[in-house]
Amino acid sequence: MNYYVGIDLGGTNVAVGVVDESCRIVGRADTKTRAFHPAQEIADGMVSTAMQAIADAGVSLDDVQWVGVGTPGTANPRTGVVGLAANLGFRNTPLGALVSERISKPVFIENDANAAAFGELMNGAAKGLDSVIMITLGTGVGGGIIIDGKIYSGFNYKGAELGHLGMVYNGVPCTCGRRGCIESYCSVSALIRMTRESMQLNAGSKMWELAEHSLDKVSGRTSFDAMRQGDPSAAEVVRQYEEYIAYAVSGIINLFQPQAVVIGGGISKEGETLFDPVRERTYAQCFNHEDHNCTKILQAKLGNDAGIIGAALLGRQYH
Ligand SMILES: [Zn+2]
């Protein structure tokens, strides 16, 4: 049996999984990331955690074919070098080589959002497809582009930043310094901002009760929960948020016409409450939407495991 180690290197935690040939996680381990320590120390932590996951899986290191790493920032899969990952303190860091020399296996590296998209393709919502766009609605908006079974991130590996596609000229300020990006309308942070704005205009809204009468306690769930309790201003917040997502997704579909757009992130757990209206509004704005041969809009399935499974199977792009 062949096994593959996937390392999801985050700013706070390192999550490792051992994945078998049928793309399932059969062993796990995790540890804290020693962010801003020398890269050698971070690599030490990654490899010792990988060895724990291999022990947890009950397999031998000889059965491990390769190691894949999903990292924040820009990752060059050809050289194994991370160009810039601000939340780890990496700058032109040869992460692939640092891991490889500690575990004596081939190492593939990739940006973490791209690895997560690849995981959904390998064993998640987009299993069996080969041209898929993933968009993750979290604190920010992440993206991954997969064309013909391979991750596409541009000639310099900095692409697939779908969250920073323009949506509204001169619109709401974005974390990237620009205005009007998809992230400033479709992220959970944007939904929280819209929820607070609506609460300030609607003193009687149920959203106040759900947020314990404090704007600081508003979450991505506040408007959805209040809508379910029949609150009209909450329903309007959700409707507006879904309009923004549909506008963003229809642009992505018009550009790529992928087999599927997979939507992930915490908010995707709202399920059909979110997906039904988003599908309807998206298709209404797409070219050829009346055609049955159109892009599917799917809820991500793997959650945090997408990054581990995608990283573990990165080598499948070449084998
Ligand atoms: Zn931006």
Using the mean position of ligand 1's atoms as its centre, give its distance from the Cα of residue 261 in Å. 20
Query: Can you give the pLDDT at residue 86?
Result: 87
Q: Which of 169, 184, 286 is nearest to 244 (CA)?
A: 184
Tell me which H or E stretch contains 9. strand 3-9
What pTM was computed for the model?
0.94
Q: Quick one: how far is CA 187 from the chain centroid?
A: 12
Using the mean position of ligand 1's atoms as its centre, give its distance from the Cα of residue 151 in Å. 22
Query: Can you give the pLDDT at residue 289?
Result: 67
What sign for the dihedral angle of Cα 192, 124, 74, 257? negative
Using the mean position of ligand 1's atoms as its centre, give its distance from the Cα of residue 100 in Å. 34
CA distance 225 to 212: 13
Using the mean position of ligand 1's atoms as its centre, give its distance from the Cα of residue 182 in Å. 7
Using the mean position of ligand 1's atoms as its centre, give its distance from the Cα of residue 84 in Å. 17
Cα 192 to Cα 140, 184, 187, 199, 268, distances in angstroms: 12, 11, 9, 11, 15
Task: Write the DSSP symbol of residue 264.
Answer: E
Asked whether 154 and 172 are in contact (CB, 8 A), the reply is no
Using the mean position of ligand 1's atoms as its centre, give its distance from the Cα of residue 228 in Å. 31
| Segments of the chain with pLDDT less than 50 | none
Using the mean position of ligand 1's atoms as its centre, give its distance from the Cα of residue 158 in Å. 14
Measure the CA angle with vertex 118, ends 112 and 122; round to 5°.
140
Query: Can you give the pLDDT at residue 286?
Result: 85
What amino acid is encoded at 218 in this protein? Answer: V
Using the mean position of ligand 1's atoms as its centre, give its distance from the Cα of residue 108 in Å. 28
Instruction: Kindly write down the DSSP assignment for every residue of 34-88, as one continuous string.
Output: -TTS-HHHHHHHHHHHHHHHHHHHT--GGGEEEEEEEESS-EETTTTEEEEETTT
Query: Can you give the pLDDT at residue 291?
Result: 67
Using the mean position of ligand 1's atoms as its centre, give its distance from the Cα of residue 141 in Å. 9
Reported as a single tens digit per residue, the pLDDT across 208-222 is: 999 999 999 999 999
Task: Write the DSSP symbol of residue 179.
Answer: B
Asked whether 148 and 158 are in contact (CB, 8 A), the reply is no
Query: Can you give the pLDDT at residue 287?
Result: 78
Using the mean position of ligand 1's atoms as its centre, give its distance from the Cα of residue 279 in Å. 24
Tokens in use for 229?
């309790």
Using the mean position of ligand 1's atoms as its centre, give its distance from the Cα of residue 47 in Å. 34
What amino acid is encoded at 180 in this protein? Answer: G
Tokens in use for 3?
């096994």
Using the mean position of ligand 1's atoms as its centre, give its distance from the Cα of residue 287 in Å. 26
